Amino acid sequence: MKLPMKVMSVAAVAAVVASLAACSTGAGSGADAATANLDARGPITYVQGKDNSGIVNPLVEKWNADHPDERVTFKELTDEADQQHDDMVQNLQAQNKDYDVMSVDLVWTAEFAAKGWLQPLDDAGIDTSGMLQSTVDSGTYNDILYAAPVTSDGGILYYRTDLVPEPPTTWDEMMAMCPIAAQNGIACYAGQFAKYEGLTVNATEAINSAGGTVIDDEGNPALETDAAEQGLQNLADAYANGNIPAEAITYTEEEGRIAFQGGKLMFLRNWPYVYNLASTEGSSAVKDVLGMAALPGTDGPGASSLGGHNAAISVYSDTKATAIDFVKFLTSEENQRFYATQGSLAPTLSALYDDEALISELPYLPVLKTSIENAVPRPVTPFYPAVTNAIQDNAYAAIKGEKTVTEAMTDMQNSIESAGSQ
Amino acid sequence: MSTETRARSAEDPNNPKSTGRSPKSNKALKEVGEDRRAATQGRWATILIAPAIIILGIVIVYPVINAIIMSFQADAGLDPETGLFTEGGFAGFSNYTGWLLQQCGGPNGTTVACSPGTLGAQFWEAFGTTFYFTIVTVALETVIGFWMALIMSRAFRGRSLLRASVLVPWAIPTAVTAKLWFFIFAFQGVINAVFNTDVLWTGSEGPARWAIIIADVWKTTPFMALLILAGLQIIPGDVYEAAKMDGASTWQRFRHITLPLVRPALMVAILFRVLDALRMYDLPQIMTGGANGTTTLSILVVEQIRQGFNAAAALSTITFLIIFIVAFIFVRFLGANAVDAATTSTRAG
């Protein structure tokens, strides 16, 4: 009698671990929900991650002033992408009708759409004709538009104009310039190579830029090709011969930016946000010699990975007519301009990239346009978490030289196949 | 036992009528009364315990059982026609064999060995990593914690200040600790600057593991030290005095008095730390993201949750069983008894 009691009390302590995964899975049948409440109007909620640049509240206030009967409430989630994802999944699974409009990271779009949680927008009258095609692709799953592109993002190659007068246009050109960095006692090139989402971005950029593809149009992995292999081989070779410095294997966006701003790096692949900091911060050693170019490819601009957020409507919303109007409001030219000037968030409307007034404020826009025009969305697949894990694990091992690139590609291919056939 | 005695003595004054009767009838009456009292007490005990039992049932039993039920369901698959997810249905033990035998889904519903890059392929590695971290950190924490407790138990000026300041690392939230050590171990961080080295602490397996071990030992040794200190305090001083009179050396006093008498408290402290270390999550997650052989079972569970709840439920059930077995071994064979030790220290205090 005494022993079982003891065992039970110990079991109670250990049981907390098991409760980790004990979230209930509701049957997520959204097929009927997608046709309901299409004409209903009323107050709605807009859900988005932390509003770091303080632009959502002014927009919501503007909307509310014009729509007193269809007020928008802004629900702000955390800063962390994973936590935003998990919060939305929980609420959609619980069929919460208060999550009317959500700001969905483009890599979640396919997963949410395949779960039947997103309202198809093909008949909603959202004008995508003026938008950059790659951003529209990022909101599309199975040829149906599920999310309207609101903001975009693309990779930029930052370089030192004092060391490199003319930026490289191809990867081979860039590697050929690396002796200049060595002569000046600094490292040549870095991106984001720590094992996290940033590595998926960099590895898929390398694969796409070399002409390969991660997931083909049918949704199957297509990694065992010479082109795809060459892409990853470029990174592995550069790491092996020191063109990518050893410490870059621990770099996320910030470590790379700090090294570049400290004058320790000649080329840096990063997002547009670096421009403001590197050109204005007092501690920046590259303030006056900061150059920007499109990412280098095989024989022209490389294929950037696309970033950004799309606005999607929950199928469980009970006020969809208002929700659709609000999505149109978010994607309007006026508000896209507001996003760009107030929040430094890249617009999705093509015309804004050629707008002189906007370019004088955000000088990186022309380069970014080239980047986004050539961008490939990260693999559009409902199994994105498994796919990104497969890419990260194997690309990391291949860059570090722990396995050959050929092995890494085979393992990546098999892992993604397993993910799709659970 | 003690509760019963206390309850009875508390009730006696409520029964003044019992005085003045003949001893015999008095005794009989008392027996009847005690039966009734026992029955009432039993009812009251049930009522008073019920809320605790219900809450435990809701927060522990229900999730555990639900997790076990989920672990026998397959995760949702994709319908190739519509591109939408469909329910997985009953899966038998396939979620469990997936982890334990490292079998992943292959083309056309077959199973193949998990290739590197899937979570399934990482199970045994994560299992080994978790135990490696547990054994190394708990061993270090026990030795250093014991040493710190011996110092803190002495009488000297500023003892309370030392005891309070030792607790500081323990008081800092683990996530904050992890972020601090992350910056300390960064390539351009404090450690490389102070020692003038170029070690990629989070970039290769050995250094990454030791970075995490150092951070964990720094954080939890104070906890260990305080639990051991509590055990040291209940050893009466005259035992040491008597030993000294008999001419026992410092080592002999430590070996034959301190160690055996502090053992119950020590075993409980080790048990708590082992259970804690087996579910280590925050430190490796924040410091390395699980790269370079630092993925623990808990990290694997959380990653799997994003890929499919049901396989994650199976994995957390496996983790639960592993921790349960370890705890069982401790309680059954090594004599760690959290309940008895707590009672002992309460009485002594």
SS3 letters across chain A = CHHHHHHHHHHHHHHHHHHHHCCCCCCCCCCCHHHCCCCCCCCEEEEECCCCCCCHHHHHHHHHHHCCCCCEEEEECCCCHHHHHHHHHHHHHCCCCCCCEEEEEHHHHHHHHHCCCECCCCCCCCCCCCECHHHHHHCEECCEECEEEEEEECCEEEEECCCCCCCCCEHHHHHHCHHHHHHCCCEEEECCCCCCHHHHHHHHHHHHHCCCCCECCCCCECCCCHHHHHHHHHHHHHHHCCCCCHHHHHCCHHHHHHHHHCCCEEEEEECCHHHHHHHHCCCCCCHHHEEEECCEECCCECCCECEEEEEEEECCCCCHHHHHHHHHHHHCHHHHHHHHHHHCCECCEHHHHHCHHHHHHCCCHHHHHHHHHCCECCCCCCCHHHHHHHHHHHHHHHHCCCCCHHHHHHHHHHHHHHHHCC
Which of A8, A9, A17, A193 to mutate: most B Cβ within 10 Å?
Answer: A17
Res B331 pLDDT > 70: yes
Same domain, B139 and B47: no
pLDDT average, residue stretch A57-77: 94
- Nearest-CB residue to A250 (from B105, B202, B307): B202
Q: Which residue of B has its CA nearest to A196?
A: B289
DSSP letter assigned to residue B254:
I
Residue A246 near chain B (CB below 8 Å):
yes
Pick from A230, A257, A234: which is nearest to A244 by CA? Answer: A234
Same domain, B187 and B276: yes
pLDDT average, residue stretch B248-274: 91
Same domain, B180 and B81: no
Give dist(CA A153, CA A273) in Å, integer. 10
Res A2 pLDDT > 50: no
Residue A237 near chain B (CB below 8 Å):
no
> What spatial distance separates the first Cα and last Cα of chain B, rounded to whole Å?
19
DSSP letter assigned to residue B108:
G
pLDDT digits (tens, 9 = 90+) for A18-65: 443 333 333 344 567 777 788 889 999 999 998 877 889 999 999 999
Query: A380: distance to nearest CA of chain B, Å?
Result: 12
Report pLDDT for B337. Answer: 63
> Is B66's CB within 8 Å of A24's CB?
yes
Same domain, B34 and B88: no
Give dist(CA B36, CA B29) in Å, integer. 11
Res B237 pLDDT > 60: yes
Three-state SS at B262: helix
Pick from B337, B347, B348, B305: which is nearest to B71 by CA? Answer: B305
Give dist(CA A160, CA A158) in Å, integer. 7
> Is B306's CB within 8 Å of A82's CB?
yes
Query: B27: distance to nearest CA of chain A, Å?
Result: 33
| Confidence at B58, pLDDT banded by 50, 70, 90 | very high
Q: Side chain identity at A347, as an amino acid letter?
A: P
- Nearest-CB residue to B116 (from A3, A23, A411): A411
pLDDT average, residue stretch A326-345: 90
Report pLDDT for A243. Answer: 96
Q: List chain A residues with CB under 8 Å of B275.
A: 13-14
Residue A93 near chain B (CB below 8 Å):
no
pLDDT average, residue stretch A354-363: 89
Tell me what ipTM this predicted complex has.
0.81
Report pLDDT for A79. Answer: 84
Q: Which residue of B has its CA nearest to A22?
A: B67
| Pairing assessment for the beta strands A156-160 and A265-270 based on DSSP bridges | antiparallel
Which of A2, A19, A391, A410 to mutate: most B Cβ within 10 Å?
Answer: A19
Report pLDDT for B56. Answer: 93
Query: B14: distance to nearest CA of chain A, Å?
Result: 34
pLDDT average, residue stretch B103-107: 80
Beta bridge pairs of residue A55: none
- Nearest-CB residue to A21 (from B291, B309, B339): B309
Res B339 pLDDT > 60: no
Res A277 pLDDT > 90: no
Domain total in chain B: 3
Report pLDDT for A89. Answer: 92
Same domain, B144 and B210: yes
Query: A393: distance to nearest CA of chain B, Å?
Result: 5
- Nearest-CB residue to B115 (from A246, A247, A411): A411
| Listed range (A252-261, B293-302, B317-326, B335-344) with the worst mean pLDDT | B335-344
DSSP letter assigned to residue B320:
H
Same domain, B66 and B83: no
Report pLDDT for A64. Answer: 95
| Listed range (B226-230, B235-239, B339-343) with the worst mean pLDDT | B339-343
Phi, then psi, of A43 in degrees rounded to 5: -65, 145
Q: Which residue of B has its CA nearest to A396?
A: B291
Token pair belonging to A324: 């659709």
Final residue belonging to a domain, choices B10, B43, B70: B70
DSSP letter assigned to residue B334:
S
Alpha-carbon separation of residue B41 from B8, B33, B34, B137 (angstroms): 10, 12, 10, 47
A100: how many CB neighbours lie within 10 A of its CB?
Answer: 28
Report pLDDT for B37. Answer: 76
> Is A250's CB within 8 Å of B324's CB?
no
| Listed range (A363-372, B53-62, B327-336) with the worst mean pLDDT | B327-336
Report pLDDT for B203. Answer: 84
Three-state SS at B317: helix
Same domain, B30 and B135: no
Query: B141: distance to nearest CA of chain A, Å?
Result: 21
Q: Judge contact between A343 and A132, C-beta under 8 A.
A: no
The residue with tokens 């369901």 is: B73
Which residues numbered 97-126 in A keep a CB inside 8 Å of some CB on B? 113-116
Token pair belonging to A107: 């890599």
Same domain, B153 and B179: yes
Domains along chain A with CATH numbers: 10-152+307-373 (3.40.190.10), 156-305+383-419 (3.40.190.10)
Alpha-carbon separation of residue A417 from A43, A210, B12, B117, B123 (angstroms): 43, 22, 76, 11, 19
Q: Is the pTM of this model over 0.80?
A: yes
Same domain, B156 and B88: no
Contacts of B2 (CB under 8 A, 6+ apart): none
pLDDT digits (tens, 9 = 90+) for B3-45: 444 444 444 444 444 444 455 556 666 666 667 777 788 888 8
Which of A117, A393, A406 to mutate: most B Cβ within 10 Å?
Answer: A393
Same domain, B207 and B64: no
Same domain, B207 and B103: no
Res A121 pLDDT > 80: yes
Which of B110, B319, B323 to mutate: most A Cβ within 10 Å?
Answer: B323
DSSP for B131-158?
Answer: HHHHHHHHHHHHHHHHHHHHHHHS--TT
How large is the angle between the packed helices A253-261 and A273-280, nearest 10 degrees? 30
Q: List chain A residues with CB under 8 Å of B288.
A: 195
Q: List chain B residues with CB under 8 Å of A22.
A: 63-64, 66-67, 70, 313, 316
pLDDT average, residue stretch B262-277: 92
Which of B112, B298, B307 to mutate: most A Cβ within 10 Å?
Answer: B307
Q: What does pLDDT average to over chain A?
A: 88
> Is B316's CB within 8 Å of A246's CB?
no
Give dist(CA B303, CA A386) in Å, integer. 9
Domain that holds residue B278: 122-348
Res A385 pLDDT > 80: yes
Sign (positive or negative) of CA dihedral A228, A231, A237, A242:
negative
Which has more pLDDT, B336 or A419?
A419
Q: Which residue of B has its CA nearest to A26?
A: B87
Query: A414: distance to nearest CA of chain B, Å?
Result: 6
Q: Judge contact between A191 and A202, C-beta under 8 A.
A: yes
Q: Which residue of A has its CA nearest to B102?
A: A418
Q: How many CB pairs under 8 A join A and B?
A: 199
The residue with tokens 């538009």 is: A145
Report the run of H or E that residue B101 belongs to, with start and end.
none
Report pLDDT for A208. Answer: 93
pLDDT average, residue stretch A173-186: 95
The residue with tokens 């409980």 is: B268
Domain containing residue B252: CATH number: 1.10.3720.10
pLDDT digits (tens, 9 = 90+) for A279-326: 888 888 999 999 999 999 998 889 999 988 999 999 999 999 999 999
pLDDT average, residue stretch A263-282: 90
Same domain, B60 and B205: no
